[in-house]
Amino acid sequence: MDILGYDFMIRAMIAAVFTGLAAPVVGTYLVQRRLALMGDGIGHVAVTGVALGLLTNTSPTWTAVVVAILGAVLIEVIREKGHANGDVALALLFYGGIAGGVMITGLAGQSAARLQEFLFGSITTISPQDVWVTMALSAIVILLGVGLAPQLFAVAQDQEFARVAGLNIRVYNVLVAVLAAVTVTVAMRTVGLLLVSALMIVPVATAQQLTRSFRATLLAAMCLGVGASFGGLMVSAVAFDVAPGPTIVLLALACFVLTWPVGMWLRRRRRQRQPFDELAPLAHDAIDEHPHEHGENCGHTAVPHGDHVDYVHDGHRHAPHGVHYDEH
């Protein structure tokens, strides 16, 4: 594995670890707000930012950060207004972003291949200066996203409650939008603008198959994000002709596909064991013969029902009553 000794590979590994950690932090808040596609939207708008950088011969990273933040704040304003066709307004913004980006790239006399570096990522061509920028911006996202977790959680969970608790919800909403924009531009070197949202959302979707709390979801998503981005980079380093960006995303998706059946099973089991309403049965409905004796570990689902337990099998709910069973 002498490829690991190359400088460009070390830079790529550092960038992969930092973006893999930072992207799911923002993704968790986006999923909590049911805004999973917002990262995609910002990614589209950022294309224009990259193109402006190419046109003006400045760093595409910085122009992309500026344009993405403007786009994210605009999306947040449209969302806050809550217009009936707010989602149409967002769609217009996305299409404008990507079309403008492609057009400006052409005007700048740059080839489509140059733009493609940003659309699909080119982590192995990342410069030392870009690595520092990636590390710094990722660290800011992680510190704010984890440090302000109680506030960001409360605002995303219940805006009205957060307001009456004295939180300035507009500040926190804009903060999440800005963090999302920064994450998009940081991750565009790793997985590319078109796949950025996947690195933010897929680890969260995977984590929540197995978790029961916000905290566990956030931490598990960060671990899965690092695992996918670092693992994807390694796979593409070993296998020829495999681009790192798509490999990272496909690895993250593979994790989701593996955990999804487990999550289905857990949810189904949880639903089955949910207590029945504490209403008294309509009548005393005794069962004449019941060859099976229910009890702990009898194999049938035991569901709490008021002060006793009902056993569920074949569409029946049986509760022990003295020597016989009642149908509840």
Partner 1 sequence: MLTDPTDRDRTVLEIEDGSVAISGRPILRHIDVRIERGEFVALMGANGSGKSTLVRAMTGLLRIGGGSVTLFGAQLSDFHDWHRIGFVPQRATAASGIPVSVWEVVASGRLTRRRLLRPLLRKDRQAIKDALDVVGLRDRSHDGINTLSGGQQQRVLIARALAGEPELFFLDEPTAGVDLPNQQALALALETLKSRGATVVLVAHELGPMTPLVDRAIVMRDGRIAYDGPPLADHEVHGPLFGAGHSHHHVVPVVDDHTPQLGLNRHREHH
Q: Residues 21-50 vs partner 1: string with x where CB under 8 A? A: -------x--xxxx-x--------------
User: Is 219 one of the binding residues for partner 1 (CB under 8 A)?
Assistant: no
291 sits near partner 1 (criterion: CB under 8 A):
no
Q: Which amino acid is at 214?
A: F
Among 93, 95, 67, smallest CA distance to 79 is for: 93
Looking at 14, 66, 140, 148, which residue binds partner 1 (CB under 8 A)?
A: 148
Binding characters for partner 1, 234-273, by CB under 8 A (x = yes): ------------------------------------x---
Residue 119 vs 220, nearer CB to partner 1: 220
Are the beta carbons of 186 and 26 closer than 8 angstroms? no
307 binds partner 1 (CB under 8 A): no
280 binds partner 1 (CB under 8 A): no
Residue 68 pairs in a beta bridge with none
CB of 128 to partner 1, least distance (A): 32
What is the rounded distance in angstroms from the CA atom of residue 107 to the CA atom of residue 254?
39
Residue in 55, 102, 108, 167 binding partner 1, rule: CB under 8 A: 167
Distance CA 145, CA 218 (A): 10
Alpha helix positions (H), 165-304: 169-187, 196-207, 214-238, 244-272
- Paired strand residues for 326: 286, 319
Distances (CA, A) of 265 to 55, 143, 210: 52, 35, 10
Kindly indicate which of the ranges 15-23, 83-91, 150-158, 189-197 contains the residues binding partner 1, using the contact rule CB under 8 A. Answer: 150-158
Q: Could you give the CA distance from residue 82 to residue 72 in angstroms, rounded to a whole number?
A: 15
- In angstroms, what is the minimal distance from the CB of 207 to partner 1? 9
Binding of partner 1 at residue 172 (CB under 8 A)?
Answer: no
**CA 82 to CA 288: how far, in whole Å?**
60
Q: Which is nearer to partner 1, 208 or 247 (CB)?
A: 208
Cβ atoms within 10 Å, residue 217:
23
Residue 197 is a binding residue for partner 1 (CB under 8 A): no
Contacting residues toward partner 1, per CB under 8 A: 28, 31-34, 36, 147-148, 150-151, 153-154, 156-158, 160-167, 204, 208, 211-217, 270, 274-275, 277-279
